[in-house]
Chains A and B, each alone.
Chain A
């Protein structure tokens, strides 16, 4: 009696999505001598997080109001005794200021989306793995259904239906991304249940929730974290993409995606409008991706990359 026999969907969908569930080498994943490679990216991410938490350490109060006479000033312009180091945008607002305050918005969206989708998806996956049978079939079928609708189309539809706002962007990204975590968590839960220590826990009559909490979750989490790290960068990009179709966060709230998207019509005349938010976003996503690759390597060198 194999786990596969119990429910064919999990392993097959795992195989077909290209996400072969990592065989985790738990104890060794934070061996010090190997963290050197990841250090620079971790530092970059840390700087971004500090910028998001305390933007006022870097720049003055947020420039939400516009000044049409100061539009599109190039970087370094001094106006009324104020130096605009990165220039001003199409409404005369200081770009550096918006960029720093935008960090908060972009990171908030990415982290919340990953956290919500990760928690929700993992929860469902573990439930499916523990309950099996009909419950698992329903949960995994729904996950399949969501995955077979083109992601961006579903994202547009949900934001349109909900109305675009910061919260709704997060809700939308959660609604379309949770199945990724569910699949991983489901397969890991099935695998964990086959393990000796879980069986012995069951044998001595430990309660279900306790087993899940004490034994299954620790087995599931590392793989979920791998997916989550890689998803973090993706979420930043998708927030920007939603801004491109006009469905991102609301003006005048600065998010890098919105700044980049609004600035694109000035790409050949006011290069700074797209270059700075673009580079900020680029460095973040690249760091997160490399960090994600690193974490995955530490957890499981044979894991086969993420599905899309």
Chain B
């Protein structure tokens, strides 16, 4: 009956007319509101971009995540250290060309015995609260991470250190349980915090109000969104050329690209090759890239009950992947071929190692000879890994007669599965590995040594070689150990190096900066022209 009433023409027409008037008025209001909103926005938008362009007084950097903490003793993920490495000084830095550890806060070092190291600490360095940086602060920064109660995720990187003691304000002595060839390389990631301040305000206080001695200090932070750093006026080194840095968290990569294209950001991290190719066309943006020590690899399950138990199948897989096509088409050339699960940047990569071979015919033959009829392999993966690459491998292997089933799960489930000591996670998994140490020890040992969480492989000869290399400072001996270990690994095909990853950044064409192999984002090395 209600509907009938509505059908009464007179009232409806009248209602309709008055409604149309209201709607028109509403539309006009919205339009007005839209104008008043959009005009100041376009003004301020252009003025902010032009001001940053004209004076180059600030740079906006898009990261994938908001730093999970500003306490350098805690998290060690890329977005986090990109920010805090600019606030704190590290004990050592790397030479951008040779990648060798070089002086920074420590000016000199020596190791009188294989298990003890003496460092001379730079004098005249001040934290941004005015207190001087001494060897005691360095020792404190190490010891707090070694304290089990502090629960530092970086514990594993420094666990080789037995004691850290300041013998004078400028003298630091470290002792290790056994000879540690990778000590210096991990010390390039050691950020120094002020002992007195941390003891006063506590760990939470340091996180909320960080004090460091680095080139920048925190000006303001909006949790989850952005952190603004300003130049530290008391910085001991060369003053950085860009006065203000804004780090923003932009989780979606497509949005980071849009930010660059619209001029809202001058640098964006964590781009894929395809996104880089979108940026190469324009004149206002450029792509910056650098080979890193990160290696893309496949690990094959040699222990579980899967077709990859067969050495022939494993060999076939390594011959059946079209590496060059992946590098050229999928990675857009932002990758380099490798011959094992290691990059040439890392110590231990054999000099004359041949790159992987692609031979589908031989691979097909091997599959047929393997005695495994219709091999079905499971390939677990997670959203962290490029699905295109995994699908490309799936389709390559189909051509040689191996059927691949991709099993996606989220990262935590994936880790639980592949790190389960029962080794029933499937046959092939993809991974990206970087130890920030530029040494084979940080790659081969955790990935393939018997009993480590990642290894679904066990070979006593391989284990002996990497163990020996781990406990000596003799470079020649280490190099030959790794040559031997890599030989065994490649013969067993327990892992396949796919390519060396380039770090890809999108940048304003006004930015001059050279990215490095460990993806450190030192803003003091950047210049943004007018």
A-side residues, CB < 8 A to B, are: 64-69, 71, 90-91, 160, 163-164, 245-247, 250-252, 262, 264-269, 301-302
Contacts and interface: CB of A to CB of B under 8 A. Distances in A.
Nearest to A160: B410
B261 A65 contact: no
Using C-beta atoms within 8 Å of the partner chain, give the interface range for chain B.
35 or more
B383 interface: yes
Contacts of A66: 391-392, 395
A69 B325 contact: yes
A68 B398 contact: no
Given A90-B388, A250-B406, A301 B3 contact: yes
Given A69-B325, A160-B413, A91 B277 contact: no
Interface string B2-19: 110000000000000000
Interface string B404-420: 00111110110000000
Interface of B: 2-3, 253-254, 257-258, 261, 272, 274-275, 277-278, 322, 325-326, 329-330, 382-383, 387-388, 390-392, 394-395, 398-399, 406-410, 412-413
Contacts of B330: 68, 71
B444 to A, nearest CB: 30
Contacts of A251: 387, 390-391, 406, 408
B410 A252 contact: no
Given A66-B395, A91-B388, A252-B391, A267 B254 contact: yes
Interface residues of B, dominant DSSP: helix
Contacts of A68: 322, 325-326, 329-330, 392
B410 A265 contact: no
Contacts of B407: 163, 250
Of the candidates B399, B410, B413, the one having the most CB atoms from chain A within 10 angstroms of its own CB is: B410
B391 to A, nearest CB: 5
B408 A69 contact: no
A163 B409 contact: yes
B278 A269 contact: yes
Given A91-B391, A246-B410, A265 B325 contact: no
17 contacts: A65-B398, A66-B391, A68-B322, A68-B325, A68-B330, A69-B325, A91-B388, A163-B409, A164-B408, A246-B382, A250-B407, A251-B406, A252-B406, A265-B253, A265-B274, A301-B3, A302-B2
7 A-B pairs closest in CB distance = A246-B383, A68-B329, A65-B395, A66-B395, A269-B278, A68-B325, A251-B387
B408 A246 contact: yes
B406 A265 contact: no
Contacts of B382: 246
A31 to B, nearest CB: 12
Contacts of B329: 68-69, 71
Given A65-B395, A160-B410, A265 B254 contact: yes
A301 B3 CA distance: 8
A281 B272 CA distance: 27
A71 B277 CA distance: 13
A244 B52 CA distance: 34
Nearest to A72: B274
B453 to A, nearest CB: 21
Nearest to B409: A163
A268 B390 contact: no
Contacts of B390: 251
Nearest to A67: B395
A197 B2 CA distance: 25
Nearest to B277: A269
Contact of B274 (A65, A90, A246, A252): A90
B257 A265 contact: yes
Given A66-B391, A251-B406, A265-B253, 13 more contacts: A65-B398, A67-B395, A68-B325, A68-B330, A91-B388, A160-B413, A247-B410, A250-B408, A251-B387, A251-B391, A251-B408, A269-B278, A301-B3
A96 B274 CA distance: 22
B254 A264 contact: yes
A163 B278 contact: no
Contact of A301 (B2, B383, B410): B2
A90 B391 CA distance: 11
